[in-house]
Structure 1
Amino acid sequence: KDLLFEIGAEEIPAGFMPNILGQLKQLAEIKLNDAHLPFESIATYGTPRRLALIVKGLADTSAEISERHKGPSASIAYDADGNATKAAIGFARGKGLDVADLVVEDGYIYAETKTAGVPAKDIVTDMLPQLITGLNFPKSMHWGNLDAKFVRPVRWLVALLDEEVIPVEFATVKSGNVTRGHRFLGADEITIKNAASYVDTLKENFVMVDQDARRELISKQLHDISASKNASIVWDDDLLEEINYLVEWPTALCGGFEESYLTLPDAAIITPMKDHQRYFPLVDQDGKLLPMFLTVRNGSDHSIEVVQAGNERVLRARLDDAKFFFNEDRKKPLIDRQDGLTKIVFQEGLGNLADKTERLLKLGRVFGEECGLHEDAAVVLERATELAKTDLTTGMVTEFT
């Protein structure tokens, strides 16, 4: 049989997802192996609103377990006439056997026991609640007046062994066969007929639950658009991974901004794009930054031009900030920013950055002498040391670290 277990929740932080899915798979494998319940394969899937576990080819019952238990020595277990002593009788009783079932081997008595297989339904009924409570998160939440904790409030549970609902309850939410589609495009209530139809049923409701397929589609869409613009993407695997867990139905799009912003340093443009807005910058064949970006919408291409305009408007505001800070910061030479270092704590017990700079100046003089620096080079070293930390007082570093 196939087992489906879906935990539906409010949007889970994208950075948490890979670790959570790994934990869920590992924990399920451990539980099934400990229960001696054979299975063919196990996989976990995840989107911002759900964690899903699918176990295929689950056996009807766990394997029968044969065990051999070593008891006391035969000289203690039996008297001179060969009669069982209290030691043998107690050992047999503890293993649920008659004393006549004990065997003697190598001077010791042994008890051989067999444990009958347990139905898969009973095993997974006990296992599924443990999967929920067994997951660890960087930060957990509890909601209402409940003591239950999870990464985000749990809103629905789906637990199916083929088409049979497995009873599970967590934080007053009871399991069933009803899930939810895309928050805006899919149905609020979707009945899952059986575990095998889960992925396809969600796809019909604008949810690509398979994160690997979703990642591959996002990558293809991004590269197709960049190729159509005769441009290259400033690629970032970590950014792709984050975007992958921010969407359930990805649609990539291209936006643009005024060329006047290209007078800013590339880093001042790329940082707002990638770190603030999760956009991919584009460059031309010579590696020069273009006034364009790629992003991924969590939805279809309906009214995509409206989404594009909204993203362009947000980026424009970010770039205006960058332009403002860059121009304002350059009005004041770095050497005039030394006083600001007294307001920035370096480390408790080690003073502020002005104190650190003083220590670096003393160290620099010692190193300069030991290395035999020429007087001109020593002056450059001292100047560089005086300026080394002053950029930390600028708005550019503060806002666009």
Structure 2
Amino acid sequence: MPKHILLEIGMEEVPARFMRAAMEQLKERTAKWLQEARIQHEGILTYGSPRRLTVLIQDAADKQSDVHEEVKGPARKIALDENGEWSKAAQGFARSQGITPDQFFFKELNGVEYVYANKSSMGSETSDVLVEGLSGIITAMTFPKNMRWGAHEMRFVRPIRWMVALHGTAIIPLEFAQVKAGNVTRGHRFLGQDTIIEEPSQYVEKLREQYVIVDIEEREQLIVEQIKALAKEHDWDIGMKEDLLEEVLFLVEYPTALYGSFDESFLHIPKEVLITSMREHQRYFPVFNKDGELLPHFVTVRNGDSKGIEEVARGNEKVLRARLSDAKFFYAEDQKLEIAACNAKLDQIVFHEELGTLGDKVRRVTKIADQLAEAIQTDAQTRTLTNRAAAICKYDLVTQMVYEFPELQGVMGEDYALKLGEHPTVARAVNEHYKPRYAGDPAPETTVGALVSMADKLDTMVGCFAIGIIPTGSQDPYALRRQATGVVQILLERNLPIQLTTLFDITIQVLDNEGLLKRNKDEVRKDLYEFFGLRVKNVLSEQVRYDVVDAVMAAGYDDVKYAIERGASLMQAVQVESFKTVVESFNRVANLASKAATTAVEASLFDQSEEQKLYDSWQSASASYKVAGSTDEALAALSSMEQAITDFFEHVMVMAKDEAVKNNRLALLKLIADDLKQFADFSKLVWA
């Protein structure tokens, strides 16, 4: 009769940021083991709280499935020696399958005879494989950081303090780090008690009785409902940011939402400072009115019940008051600073030992941003503002507020710059030049912010590539992938008329002028182009199917926006059945054009009307292609040649005996192919 299997790993409190991935990993490893162990089941559930990781296998079969399969061995000519006896290879195969050679039989596969054996494996009782299987799951678990404790060699995310392991009502005799599994779990650290789990289906309810809501979906629902109830009661809008909600979810076992207040005088500090203090440092949810204005209140979630909730609120208010008082002091002290003095301090901060100080970086960024502004032909005022914004873009890094709250770099720079009389566009660019900060963050809204942002990111990327720091595998200590993605996003969202190679050339030259290039310019440019290609490919892959991505990327992506637009047009075209014949004609052209040595076509050598018609069709299509207002129009222009190409191949022998005629025909095809390959490599398209 099928039984549930329960494994609970009880630990000291696990960092909240590790929990979601750990639960997913536990489920994946359990599913993989069940499949490999041939144990049928009705589903896998995972549970988690700060002190436990749990997996529950529903209705696991009592016995492994039996296996009956044919196993292929060596080819007949290898299995038999010259005397017709079984060779050593055949005998070794027999031993590996646990049979004797007289059980062999021959079967033909792709014209070759092979030795086969029937292999049967009777399934063991599930109870007999649980210890080894569950032990393997636990020891295979990986975490961003591990701990060792006591004299144990075992490493785990946090010290294991208890385990529950049940197969139905029977205890599975697991043992790790001198902790023996049993049927006793621990309740809430302060409100609950140890409790016996008599069989796995009782697990969730038994823990609920001990003030542990172990089902994360139920726990999250409770948190959200309680916060919404407070919002409704007080007519508030509570900022439930997803990442903070996720963290709080894994900080508590028994959630109770409460609210507190702080002095209104703190509202004179920029709201970003207050929100950061609450969210990032205290794990509090900020409170707004219906107009989006920050109110002097906060909401937090207690790991416990509502007993003494007023006292808990006062304690949280006291902690926040101290934090905000520090922020208020830093803010007042920073008002005494001058931008020039802050910039001077940047020369004392090392950016990278081979790339100089932050002051050096700012001076490079200023030069790069100025040349980018020139390249996209901005007006004089925009160029002036860009120069100023670039020159002061990092000054706030030496302020006390940013030192205490690094998340506010740029935000404080904008606030202080405005107070010091900087142009509003310059102040805003100081903030915007960090954008996009993360996936989903928008690009800078101003041209000045976009130019300084790209200059900053390009200086970091090209500088790293120039000294040989290139991301490999998962290693990317300078977040170069994120920075490249940011540049691509800015090019697309701001629609800036500049190509990738121009960005590279400008930045490489600035670094070269300062003697910072440790590698050949061409190698750096090539590596950068390939590196950015992966970012462009990622953007395309989110919008079009894989073969369209390959076709577009093969035609180049120097103009990022044009590459993305070509992908959209081609994706739309391939969904029309008739486009298949167009692509077939293009591919015939490309195949033969590869044999051409020149594109010099002499109309006097045409001796069939289809040649002239194709030439005329190409001239018309090429002219339309070059002035097309969109990629849809460009593809339509190229596609207009389809009939002329078809007629040409039906009536003209390209590989004529006359060498001059043959080369002329190949040259004509190469003219067409050269236009086609600017749009896409149509040979990479796949048809069902």
Task: Determine if contact 1:335/1:386 at 8 Å carries over to the other structure.
Answer: no
Number of residues of Structure 1 aligned to a counterpart in Structure 2: 399
1:26 is aligned, of 25, 28, 48, to 28
- Shift of residue 322 of structure 1? 1.1
Counterpart of 1:313 in structure 2 is 318
CA distance in 2, matches of 1:85, 1:326: 87
Contact 2:47 2:215 in 1 (8 A): yes
Distance 1:115 1:340, change over 3 A: same
Partner of 2:60: helix, strand, or coil?
coil
- CA positional deviation for 1:132: 1.3
Give 5+ residue unaligned stretches, structure 2. 407-688
Q: What percent of counterpart residues are identical?
A: 44
Structure 1 or 2: larger strand share?
1
Read off the aligned partner of 1:14 and give its amino acid letter.
Answer: A
Q: Is the 8 A contact 2:86 2:101 kept in 1?
A: no
Aligned counterparts of 2:141 and 2:297: Cα–Cα separation in 1: 41
TM-score normalised by length of structure 1: 0.93
> What is the identity, as a one-letter code, of the residue corresponding to 2:120?
K
Matched, 1:175 2:181: yes
Q: Distance in 2 between matches of 1:321 and 1:272?
A: 10
| TM-score (norm. length: structure 2) | 0.55
CA drift of 1:26 comes to 0.3
Inter-CA distance 105–304: structure 2 relative to 1 (3 Å threshold):
same
Q: Does 1:273 pair with 2:283?
A: no
The aligned residue for residue 61 of structure 1 is 63
Is the Cα contact below 8 Å between 1:2 and 1:56 reproduced in 2? yes
**Does the CA-based 8 Å contact 2:81-2:87 persist in structure 1?**
no
Secondary structure of the structure 1 residue equivalent to 2:397: helix
C-alpha contact (below 8 Å) 1:121/1:161 kept by paired residues = yes
Q: Evaluate the alpha carbon distance shift between residue 90 and residue 222 of structure 1 in structure 2; reply closer, same or farther with a 3 A threshold.
A: closer
Whether the aligned pair in 2 keeps the contact of 1:84 and 1:99 (CA below 8 Å) is no
Deviation string, structure 1 residues 194-251 (Cα, Å, up to 9, x no partner) = 1111111011000011111101110111111111110111220110000000000000
Among candidates 240, 246, 250, match of residue 245 of structure 1: 250
> 105-114 vs 369-378, which deviates more?
369-378
Pair 1:96 & 2:98 matched: yes
Q: C-alpha root-mean-square deviation of aligned residues, in Å?
A: 2.3
How much has 1:360 moved relative to structure 2? 3.0
Amino acid at match of 2:21: N
With over 3 angstroms needed to count, the CA separation of the structure-2 counterparts of 1:313 and 1:75, relative to structure 1, is closer
Partner of residue 334 from structure 1, selected from 336, 339, 346: 339
Output the CA distance in 2 between the equivalents of 1:241 and 1:191: 30
SS at match of 1:358: helix
Indicate the SS of the match to 2:356.
coil
Deviations along 1:51-103, one digit per CA (max 9) or x if unpaired, are: 0010001000000001212345667768999x975666665555333555433
Name 1:131's counterpart in structure 2: 137
Partner Cα distance (1:347, 1:354) in 2: 11
C-alpha displacement of 1:367: 4.9
Q: CA deviation at 1:105?
A: 3.8
2:136 & 2:159 partners in 1: Cα distance? 17
Change (3 A) 1:164 1:268: same
Query: 1:219 matched to which residue of 2?
Result: 224
Matched to 2:29, the amino acid is L
* Structure of larger gyration radius: 2
Letter in 1 for 2:137: L
1:35 paired with 2:41, answer no
Question: Equivalents in 1 of 2:207, 2:378: separation in Å?
Answer: 69
TM-superposition CA deviations, 1:348-371 (whole Å, max 9, x none): 211111112222343455456666
Tell me the secondary structure at the aligned position of residue 352 of structure 2.
coil
2:307: which partner in 1? 302
Partner deviation per Cα, 1:113-172 (whole Å, 9 max, x = no partner): 211111111221111111111111111000122111000111011100011000111111
Against the structure 1 CA distance between its residues 256 and 97, is the aligned structure 2 distance closer, same or farther, given a 3 Å change threshold?
same
The one-letter amino acid of 1:134's match is A
Would you say the 8 A contact 2:47–2:216 is kept in 1? Answer: yes
Partner of 1:143: 149
Question: What residue ranges of structure 1 are gaps of 5+ in the alignment?
Answer: none
User: Which AA in structure 2 matches 1:16?
Assistant: F
Distance in 2 separating the partners of 1:252 and 1:222: 6
Work out the CA distance in 1 between the residues paired with 2:393 and 2:92: 79
1:354-369 alignment runs, 5 A limit = 354-367=359-372
**Contact 1:282–1:289 (Cα < 8 Å) also in 2:** yes
Amino acid at match of 1:201: K
Judged with a 3 Å threshold, the aligned counterparts in structure 2 of structure 1 residues 112 and 259 are, in CA distance, closer, same or farther, namely same
Worse overlay, 378-387 or 345-354: 378-387
What is the letter of the counterpart of residue 305 of structure 2?
A: S
Whether contact under 8 Å (2:10, 2:52) holds in the other structure is: yes
